[in-house]
Structure 1
Amino acid sequence: GRYLTPDGSAAFMTREEIIEVRGAAPVRLTVRATRHGPVLSDVLPEGTAESGYVLALQTSFLDPDDRTADALWNINRARDWAGFRAALADIVGPQQNIVYADTGGTIGFIAPARIPIRKGGNGWMPVPGWTGAYDWAGYIPFDELPQATDPPAGHFASANNKIVPESYPYFVSRDWDLPNRVERIEELLGAEPRQSLAASAAMQADTVSIMARRLMPLMTQIQPEGDLAREAVERLRGWDFRMDADRVEPLLFTAWLRAFAHSVLFGRLGNAAADIWDLKPLVMETVLTQHREWCADPQHPNDTCEARLAAALEDAMARLRDSYGPQMAQWQWGRAHIARFSNQFLGRIPVIRDWIAVAVPTPGGYDTLNRGPSTIRDDAHPYEQRFGAGLRIVTDMAAPADSHMMAVPGQSGNPLSPHFSDLLLRWRQFDWLVPGRAAAVNTLVLEPAR
């Protein structure tokens, strides 16, 4: 077959890939590629690309000269910031926020990767590949990537937040996280600028939700009619915005915001909201402060935000009663916010899946430093923790050997090992290990097959 380019048609490049399968015949795949990269629509569900078109992927980490592995090797052998930064010039992808500190007092930040400069568009959505109008024109020069050394503030803070100003001349991403966590980091550093191991560890365990702190004064302005609704609003008005596992307020707030966001977004967008709706705290804050007309919709043109909030609160409480009991005191965050550690292979096998199940109630939430977001669109388990910090480290560069660390759920990947999940509760409680302080109780040796 052939495909269209700016210079006419061209033949697809093809290669055969063989996947060996133990106990079965090998699987043979013919991979097609265009001048931009592999054709993904050949292996994606039918209808991904319209008839007569293909969907191809161009990405820098498929370039044949990718030296990312070399960069990772060399940064572990760098002796100073200059050597560390030079090693990172070989990073192709994926782009990461990388921070640096040394015993001499130098700190640095850089987000290295081979980021394309496009003739048109920003790469966020598929574009016509046959015109050349969206082709790459080069890469962002390494010296112009986001980076800094020894800032006047004396620290760097990184929490998936936007790392470039509006004036930055290149497109890096549009998928930034809420600025809430980095805002909270700055608050805590401002309160205690001279950090200790204990202060830094406490920062990682922090459960204050900036989202709740901003939205609660807006949401609790309503005057509820029922006794239970009045109790809920009074609880939330006195809340300190900490997403602690033993508190009722975190679940009450999250369930209420979930119901309100669902009501507003589906009322305004209809079924188009099905795949995109979430808590959307910035959107809901904007609705309540600047665009209150969004609380009305074609089916309810006279609705007010107060009416929507009151109805959403009743809906949320009804669901909480059904799931957690009739008394509000039963609606503790830890009953809903549970971190599950599923085995990607054994977790698919009945009986065994339940036998090796690892789960623990956790604090934290959507935008807290003790990270614990949920998949709000999941009607069955909307508040379960979906991801978080699998590895935590706190290091004082004046005494690196005393670094505090914790991994979860345990150090062994073998479900039969007593060390498969023995760190689970210590992780939840922000207990720490200091490597080298105790003798190893087990040693795992990996040997190549003979």
Structure 2
Amino acid sequence: MNGINAYLATKPSLPLEFQLLGFFPEPWTPADVMVWAKMMAFGLTRNRKTELKRYHLLAKGLSRERIAQLMPLSPENGPALFSLMPKRMLSFEKRVSVESPEKTRPNDANRKSAEALLAMMKRLPTLAGASNNWVLGGSRTLSGKPLLANDPHLLLGIPSTWHLMHLEGPDENVIGATLPGLPSIIIGHNNHIAWGITNVAADVEDLYVLQESDDGKGYLYQNQVKPYQIRTETIHVKGEPPVALTVRETVYGPVISDVVEDIPDAAPLALRWIGHHPFDTTLDAYFTLNKAQNWTEFKAAMKRYVVPSQNFVYADVKGNIGYFASGLLPIRKPGHSGLYPMPGNGEWDWQGFIPFEELPEMFNPEQDYIFTANQNIAPSDYPYTISLEWTGYYRSTRIEHKIRNQEKHSIADMITMQLDTISLLHKDFVPVLQKLTPTSVRGQQWRERLLTWDGNMSLNSQEATVFHSWYVGLSGLTKPETGEEYWIDYPSYFLTAMQNGDVACEALKMTCLEYATQVLEQTLARWDDKIPAWGQLHQATFKHPLLTHTPLAFFSDRKIPFAGDMFTINKAIYDPENFRMIHGASYRQVIDLAKLDNSRYIHPMGQSGQLLSPHYDDLLPLWQKGEYLPNKTKDYPVADRLVLEPLMSDSNI
């Protein structure tokens, strides 16, 4: 911190963005690091959005049963993380969260409020993507020691989310990926242990519908009127008067519906989020983690972890592997599933948090491998509900298949897995494709091509282009009910509809298979005879937050062809409007516990955010081609060296 401020005190020539804005940065403070860590944690939680979607659909007149069809919960047939669980975790009565049917339907004003909030959320960048990590024990590797892989998928942008760093001190020697300004490594290894993270996808958010007092100064809570705690946030706008934002705080958290236009008769919505917990020691957890030398010390670091809840996979140089679900996870009353906003009257408050000793964990499992890809990490007998909205069924299935399909693995095998672009979504839709009855010769030919295709979303694949254009077209089926142009996040809804029929198809006076056939014909007509390869459409896009809105975007922004889709191990989430890839692997690492200096890592763009720097985008072609940098703590070239020394007080001078 003092080094940054000492540099700013020299009045240096600032990067182009500052010059264009006519802005000189304020002194750096510890709060700057903590706030950015909080923003990342907030971006990695998403239950508020799905709760709001269900609330909006309910207000539109859809039944809870229909909403459950349109927004199905995670499938039960995905690979389980835990084949064996410690018996101590199975001795509790299962807490079943079933949504109570007695709740009243939101009124039309609430529908408009939810609609406005959802529209606002769409305008904000979504950090959460998905991630993979896995660790193999020595019995499954060529070296006889563990291999650990991790590739967190986040929003692509400029500068890169991560910064590659080797941090060396008197009692630590750690390397990996960190956030700029943070004096510890988030993902990586030291001389003794290695770790990787993925999002647990835990439900650590709840929306509460408030019953406001007649004078609007408070809300009904536990049969009493509780006054809002009001504060004013002042936002300074260059060249304009400051904007004063009034924030109303409740026992749950801020009233988030206040950020949209006031709608008479709309009930206020307050957000409770674990990130508002007053004692967040997550940064302390990382400081401790960086110095840990074994499983016991690793778990001691996890005890200080609060948010965002992460799946940590672990390995050490002695050959041990492990898993721990970190974070503070709320306990809800039976009847509160976390899927819908609940009355904010005190009846549905959280009942505490899952005790640390009862969080899911695993150490040296019999199968000698562990993997996570945002899938359900809780066994069926687990006494608490961590979440009902998991992802990663396709990726986790593919990862486990790749691990089990080979007896011994090398670093090269780990890299091949991270770059895998076989999409199991295609495999699931093969039975649907088999039943399509296109009338055109071209439609019949393409149906056969899609049936014989292996589902590889490679750069040169025309099949990938046709398949995803067709899949996106299918999502138009839900628009009359949801109001959403695209509904691509729920493939199991479309699979069920195509196989069993659905009221949305009946409303169109056709069967769902007839609808799917029609969409295939329309897809082919869209492309005429010039169907582009997947890489021509599907390009990883990196936009500068400021320069992309200026003529300088030509120089600042980057786009590069990329394989994969949102369901491949090498995950690549696209904008359904144009297939532009917006989320992907923000960092990749493969750690070799047999010889740590054999490890590899990479991230997209470069180490510098300065447009004219040679390191602005020098890592991008390596990342795109699946190449890596050596992950070494010694014997690497050094262009510049920065030595930090403790600040001495006057009494020590």
Shorter-chain TM-score tier: 0.7 to 0.9
Q: Bigger CA drift: 272-281 or 252-261?
A: 272-281
Contact 2:438 2:518 in 1 (8 A): no
Please say if 1:39 is aligned against 2:240. no
Query: What is the CA-CA distance between 1:40 and the residue it aligns to?
Result: 2.3
User: Which residues of 2 match residues 52-131 of structure 1 at below 5 A?
Assistant: 53-119=267-333, 120-130=335-345
Query: Which residue pairs with 2:506 in the alignment?
Result: 297
1-structure distance, mates of 2:436, 2:565 = 25
Note the alpha carbon deviations across 1:374-427, whole angstroms, 9 max, x for none. Answer: 232x2xx1x221201011111111111121111101121112212111221211
Taking a change above 3 Å as real, the CA distance of residues 55 and 293 of structure 1, as seen in their structure-2 partners, is: closer
SS class of match (1:177): coil
1:370: which partner in 2?
A: 570
Distance 1:140 1:430, change over 3 A: same
Kept in 1: contact 2:470–2:523 (CA 8 A): yes
The 5 Å alignment of 1:119-158 reads: 119=333, 120-130=335-345, 132-158=346-372
- Change in Cα spacing, 1:317 to 1:446, as seen in structure 2 (3 Å) is farther
1:8 aligns with 2:208: no
Aligned length: 426
Per-residue CA shift, 1:65-122, capped at 9, x if unaligned?
A: 1111111111111111111112111111111111111111111111111111123513
Query: Residue 488 of structure 2 corresponds to which residue in structure 1?
Result: 278
Q: 1:141 to 1:305 in 2, by over 3 A?
A: same
| Equivalences for residues 2-401 of structure 1 within 5 A | 2-19=218-235, 27-47=243-263, 51=265, 53-119=267-333, 120-130=335-345, 132-263=346-477, 265-266=478-479, 270-274=480-484, 277-278=487-488, 280-289=490-499, 291-293=500-502, 296-300=505-509, 303-321=510-528, 326-328=529-531, 331-348=532-549, 350-376=550-576, 378=577, 381=578, 383-401=579-597
Give how far 1:297 is off: 1.2
- Give me the whole-angstrom Cα distance separating, in 2, the residues matched to 1:312 and 1:25: 51
SS in structure 1 of the partner of residue 582 of structure 2: coil
Q: TM-score by structure 1 length?
A: 0.87
Which amino acid counterpart does residue 533 of structure 2 have in structure 1? Q
Preserved CA contact (<8 Å) 1:413 1:420: yes
372, 397, 408: which is aligned to 2:604? Answer: 408
440 and 221 in structure 1: CA distance in 2 versus 1, 3 angstrom threshold: farther
CA contact (8 A) 1:261 1:279 kept: no
User: Residue 439 of structure 1 corresponds to which residue in structure 2?
Assistant: 637
Instruction: After TM superposition, give the deviation of residue 23 of structure 1 in Å.
Output: 7.0
Shift of 1:288: 3.2
TM-score (norm 2): 0.61
Give the superposition deviation at 1:187.
0.8
Counterpart of 2:365, as a letter, is P
CA distance in 1, matches of 2:268, 2:511: 47
Partner Cα separation in structure 1 for residue 489 and residue 254 of structure 2: 36
Q: Distance in 1 between matches of 2:542 and 2:435?
A: 39
| Partner amino acid, structure 2, of 1:334 | G
Question: Residue 394 of structure 1 contacts residue 405 of structure 1 at CA under 8 Å; is this kept in 2?
Answer: yes
Per-residue deviation, 1:38: 2.4
For the pair 1:429 / 2:429, whether they are aligned, the reply is no
State the superposition RMSD in angstroms. Answer: 2.5
Deviation at 1:314, TM superposition (A): 0.8
Describe the shift of the 1:255–1:16 C-alpha distance in structure 2 as closer, same or farther (beyond 3 A).
Answer: closer
- How much does 1:221 deviate? 3.4
Secondary structure of 2:342's partner? coil
Report the residue type matching 1:354 in the other structure: F
Shift of 1:201: 0.3
Q: Which moved more, 1:311-320 or 1:198-207?
A: 311-320
Higher relative contact order by CA 8 Å / sep ≥ 6: 1 or 2? 2
SS of the aligned residue for 2:536 comes to helix
**Cα pair 1:2 1:10 within 8 Å, conserved:** yes
- Aligned sequence identity (%): 33
Measure how far apart 1:276 and its partner are: 6.4
8 A contact 1:211–1:367 mirrored in 2: yes
AA at the equivalent of 2:501: R
Contact 1:257 1:279 in 2 (8 A): no
1: CA distance, partners of 2:504 / 2:253: 45
Report deviation, 1:18: 4.5
Cα deviation digits, residues 265-310 of structure 1 (max 9, x gap): 34xxx24252661163222222333x1355741331xx23442232
**Uncovered stretches (5+) of structure 1, i.e. residues with no partner:** none
Gaps of 5+ in 2: 1-216, 646-653
- In the alignment, residue 637 of structure 2 is paired with which amino acid? A
Change (3 A) 1:442 1:351: farther
Closer, same or farther in 2 for the Cα pair 1:337/1:211, shift >3 Å? Answer: same
Equivalent-residue separation in structure 2 for 1:429 and 1:203 (angstroms):
14
Distance 1:444 1:317 in 2: 58
Q: Is the 8 A contact 1:295 1:308 kept in 2?
A: no
Deviation at 1:445, TM superposition (A): 9.8
